[in-house]
């Protein structure tokens, strides 16, 4: 079991498979990209599967989310999914992706055992997409979403970040489109995880702004805390249901007290929180032939020291050195 001093138990493992990405989203990284991790620094497929096996069979993990960077850029992804699906007990598996490669991989991922996907899409307008991502790939994302739905990777969830002056007016249009296409839309407040450290709290589109905008066109009925559980998204029924919309208010309505996540970076570091300043090295233990019992002990100790909250409301908050692309969403 992965328990911390506040009594929270981690059952959800986020695994970053690569720090690389084929988009350059303005809220994540600079246009020229980043200094990518060297291949020897990355965990191998076997190392990733071993750590997930250990987490599932010894540490109580029941859900695994593959992230990046862009996880579809990982050459061995389908094989990793297939091997994790064979574990006993079998964890629930999902993938967070920008959707560009889904058209060609969705069927194979479903056959390998992936349960569902979260796809990032911030706008319905191709020109705005190009401005936000610095790439002209909007059509590829739409086709990737359609392929995921057709393959049965459902519910297909769409993650959207609204940015002032670019797409902040699109919330109602995005929701109408999601309802029409049977996607579950979730808006995410922009978080201080950009490589340029240009985030400013006073300039972001808040959960309150998003809900006010949605209510100009839709009736929203809050689901409540019992339905939410430890999920990061507060959810509302849209016009009485059955469709739902979620808002992840990491900055203005933090949900740290119910957090059930532990994170593994692409180079084998445990992170207790997206905003953590400290990491715990599992790669070194792996490569020094440490037994599973020792690796599990190191992981438990790391999670025991998890802080009460992210501290975004603390004036002394310092943004993590690693951008979101390097630690997974």
Cite the annotated binding site for GTP by residue number.
14, 65, 96, 157, 261-263
Give CA–CA dist 310/114, Å, rounded: 30
Question: Which residue positions form the known binding site?
Answer: 14, 21, 25, 27-28, 65, 69, 96, 120, 157, 191, 256, 259, 261-263, 273
Give CA–CA dist 214/205, Å, rounded: 13
Q: Measured in Å, how far apart are the chain's first and last C-alpha atoms?
A: 23
Question: Which residue positions form the known binding site for S-adenosyl-L-methionine?
Answer: 27, 69, 120, 191
Instruction: Establish whether the linkage from the previous residue to 202 is cis, with ω within 30° of 0.
Output: no
Dihedral pair phi/psi, residue 96, rounded to 5°: -105, 125
Q: How far is CA 34 from CA 22, 147, 274, 323, in A?
A: 12, 30, 18, 9
Give CA–CA dist 60/58, Å, rounded: 6
Beta strand residue intervals within the chain, DSSP E: 2-3, 9-10, 12-16, 63-67, 92-97, 116-120, 157-160, 184-188, 220-222, 234-238, 244-248, 261-264, 269-271, 280-281
Asked if 151 contacts 116 with a C-beta cutoff of 8 angstroms, the reply is: no
Asked if 179 contacts 238 with a C-beta cutoff of 8 angstroms, the reply is: yes
Q: How far is CA 114 from CA 51, 86, 201, 291, in A?
A: 18, 11, 36, 29
Tokens of 131: 């401005």
Question: Which residue positions form the known binding site for [4Fe-4S] cluster?
Answer: 21, 25, 28, 256, 259, 273
Give CA–CA dist 76/47, Å, rounded: 12
Give me the residues paired with residue 66 across strands: 15, 95
Instruction: Name residue, tokens 């560009």.
Output: 100
């Amino acid at each position: 079991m992965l328990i911390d001093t506040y009594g929270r138990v981690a059952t959800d493992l986020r695994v970053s498979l690569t720090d690389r990405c084929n988009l350059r989203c303005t809220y994540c990284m600079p246009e020229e990209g980043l200094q990518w991790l060297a291949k020897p620094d990355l965990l191998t497929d076997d190392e990733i599967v071993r750590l997930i096996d250990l987490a599932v069979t010894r540490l109580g993990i029941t859900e695994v989310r593959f992230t990046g960077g862009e996880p579809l850029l990982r050459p061995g992804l389908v094989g990793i999914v297939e091997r994790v699906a064979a574990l006993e007990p079998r964890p629930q598996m999902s993938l967070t992706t920008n959707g560009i490669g889904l058209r060609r991989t969705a069927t194979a991922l479903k056959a390998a055992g992936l349960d569902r996907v979260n796809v990032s899409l911030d706008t319905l307008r191709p020109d705005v997409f190009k401005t936000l991502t610095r790439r002209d790939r909007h059509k590829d994302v739409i086709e990737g979403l359609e392929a995921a739905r057709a393959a049965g990777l459902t519910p297909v969830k769409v993650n959207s970040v609204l940015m002032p002056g670019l797409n902040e007016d699109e919330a109602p249009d995005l929701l109408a489109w999601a309802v029409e296409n049977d996607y579950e839309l979730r808006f995410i407040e922009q978080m201080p995880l950009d490589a340029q450290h240009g985030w400013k709290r006073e300039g972001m589109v808040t959960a309150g702004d998003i809900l006010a905008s949605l209510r100009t066109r839709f009736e929203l009925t809050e689901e409540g805390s019992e339905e939410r559980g430890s999920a990061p998204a507060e959810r509302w029924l849209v016009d009485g249901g059955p469709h739902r919309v979620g808002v992840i208010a990491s900055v203005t309505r933090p949900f740290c007290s119910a957090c059930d996540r532990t994170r593994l970076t692409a180079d084998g570091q445990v992170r207790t929180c997206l905003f953590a300043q400290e990491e715990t090295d599992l790669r070194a233990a792996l490569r020094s032939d440490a037994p599973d019992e020792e690796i599990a002990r190191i992981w438990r100790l790391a999670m025991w020291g998890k802080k009460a909250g992210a501290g975004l409301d603390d004036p002394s908050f310092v943004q993590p050195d690693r951008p979101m692309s390097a630690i997974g969403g």
